[in-house]
Amino acid sequence: MHGETRTRRARGAETSPTHGEPAQAPGARGAERDTGVPGGLAADADAHGRARLMAAALELFNRKGYAATTVRELVAAAGVTKPVLYYHFGNKEGIYRAILEQALAEFEAHLAQQAAATGSVEARIASLLGGVYDLFLQHIPVVRLVHAVFYGPAEGAPPFDFEAFHRVYFAALRTLVAEGVARGELREVSVDDATLLLQAVAAVCMDMELAGMPSRPGRAGLVRMLELVWAGLRAADGGSREGTR
């Protein structure tokens, strides 16, 4: 997925694909309460409606596809009314974007946390990749949705910059690899090649989990395979260097 930025807009998708449903601005509190969210229920709508709608949307988008899922089905599955959906998201596209934006934000937060960590480069890279694997396990339905839209046939899903996941991941990992080479912890190798190699090891573990293979490496397998990579990347001496390739 690396390379030029890709977004997916399916054939027939409009700029605001509401599919027959009225588009409304998320959070338009007064308007939504006037159309069916009584004041006494507003607190419940704020606390629970958003989460229920996102969970229902994720399940329906994965099972039926974005285009085939209706607003009526979304609110029925979430146990809320249409005004609650409009209150939080504006329309169906708003839920779709919120699911992906939340996943990207969590991903970026993990990478930022690892960037601020201390310790050896090897330990920080292992922690970064292990954390990415853990996030993957926690959000497999989101990963399935990303794969279905990005790699699957066009079906009316709104555009989204899926390449953002790759860009922030590659940049965070590459920074650590470059630091390791500069400090003499890693051999003088192509920083880009080493970064892609490390990503590939984690990707194999995640792909096998996603495919439900009978024999999967799991997190322990990821650790073992990374040890093989370190055996080839570790510098023979502990000297310090200036610059990277």
Q: Does residue 8 register a pLDDT over 90?
A: no
Q: For the ranges 25-39, 81-95, 132-146, which has the lowest average pLDDT?
A: 25-39
Q: Is 24 left (phi over 0), alpha (psi -120 to 50) or beta?
A: beta
Residue 124 near residue 178 (C-beta atoms within 8 A)? no
Residue closest to 148 by CA, chosen among 29, 8, 11: 8
Higher model confidence: residue 42 or residue 175?
175
pLDDT band at 172; cut points 50, 70, 90? very high
172: CB partners within 8 A, 6+ apart: 111, 112, 114, 115, 128
Q: Does 1.10.10.60 match the CATH number of domain 29-90?
A: yes
- The fold of 100-233 is Tetracycline Repressor; domain 2 (1.10.357)
10-46 pLDDT, tens digit per residue, is 433 433 434 445 455 555 444 334 435 555 555 555 6
Residue closest to 176 by CA, chosen among 118, 226, 228, 133: 118
Give the residue extent of every domain in the chain: 29-90, 100-233
* Calpha distance 140→137 (Å, rounded): 6
pTM: 0.77
Q: Does residue 144 register a pLDDT over 90?
A: yes
Say which DSSP state 86 is in: H
